[in-house]
Amino acid sequence: MTTGIRTVIYPVQDLEAAKAVFGATLGVEPVMDQPYYVQYVVDGLEVGLDPNGHKKGMTGPVSYWQVDDIQASFERLLAAGATEQDAVKDVGNGRLIATAKDAAGNTIGLIQVP
């Protein structure tokens, strides 16, 4: 079951400049501030800044839909015609993510949190 968008990740080139803009825009301090990833939480929505996003092929923000069973949801997505971009992987603390591309080339992200 999909419960809504939980996370949006933005690829950024200058992490410090992006932190200034997103901090001012969101009005909160980051809950995670590392050289490889910065994350804010606003009303339950996680907003991430990925300084390596462009190197990973991100061309814009990617929304991650929260699901109860990421493996089953990812398989349904692929069966419906999407193509795998990144297989299901643990990104820390049991948090699982995966991405696929739809027929128009849009990235669809899935996330399962423990």
Average pLDDT, 10 consecutive residues per value, the chain (114 residues):
88 96 96 96 95 91 96 96 96 94 93 94
Structural domain of 80 = 2-112
CATH number, domain of 71, equals 3.10.180.10
Domain count, the chain: 1
Are the C-beta atoms of residues 45 and 86 closer than 8 Å to each other?
no
Q: Residue 111: what pLDDT?
A: 96
pLDDT at 63: 95
DSSP for 86-98, please give it.
EEEEE-STT-EEE
> What confidence score (pLDDT) does residue 12 get?
97
Q: Are 109 and 67 a contacting pair, CB within 8 Å?
A: no
